[in-house]
Amino acid sequence: MREKITVTKLVEIKQRGEKITMLTAYDYLTAKLLDEMGVDLILVGDSLGMVVLGYENTLAVTMDDMIHHTKAVARGVKSSMVVGDMPFMSYQINADKALKNAGRFLQEAGAQAVKLEGGEEVADKVDKIVKAGIPVMGHLGLTPQSVHQMGGFKVQGKEDKQKKKLLKDAKILEEAGAFSIVLECVPKELAADITKAVSIPIIGIGAGCECDGQVLVTQDILGMYDKFVPKFVKQYAKLNSEMKKAVSDYISEVKTGKFPSEEHEFH
């Protein structure tokens, strides 16, 4: 069995110049498979709102939703680090509420860390959560919970003012005690600068190859969607068409009486 991935191990991986792998999971079976294949970090993302629950964005996801799915994921994992994504309004109100909700991920759901979005404006929450002994992963760049404020899903950090703020925010999160930062949809050059500027691992999604690691939604890399595919996603399989074929074949064989056959029957 693999050695358990910890906060300390992730920093060691960065220092050795190796890359960190991170994928999403929202259920036991997927989490078990990712863990067995050797993924370093498994994120129970609030992206479950769109991927699993069918919402338009992540804003409708609740703490109870996240706890329910994180529990399922944690049951399937032995070595990967499980990170629970703190949903909209679970940490923004004040540091006390943020700490209480972060604690639920570890105490009730079995996660080893939490992730929250924002920079300087959430530094006090990060500090309080970390001081309570809970590892925190930051999230900068395109932050989906602020999608309305940002005017949609757009690349961040193209202007000088944005660049300076993102670099500053990364340093502030490091100082507040974050063990890692997800950097989403920013120019490759800026991501490289941020990665060099901090000692904690930077995990990119649409942030180029010079980050310390990469994260994607598992359903995206498996090609389970047949419509929109983001520019930063590489599909390593085309399961959408495979699944449709399997279901079509099943329907056809049941309708024609071909299934079940003798080998699937009891006597």
How far is residue 60's CA from residue 88's CA, in Å, rounded to a whole number? 8
Using CA atoms, how far residue 238 sits from 43, 74, 144, 188, 216, in Å, is 22, 27, 26, 27, 16
Indicate which residue of 108, 159, 184, 263 is catalytic: 184
Residue 80 φ then ψ, to 5°: -65, 155
Answer left, alpha or beta for residue 61, where phi above 0 means left and psi between -120 and 50 means alpha: beta
Residues present in the chain in total = 267
Strand partners, 118: 139
Report DSSP state, residue 145. Answer: G
Could you confirm whether 184 is annotated as catalytic?
Answer: yes
The one-letter amino acid code at 186 reads V
Q: Six-digit token pair at 119?
A: 């920079």
Element (H, E) at 76: none
Residues that are catalytic: 184
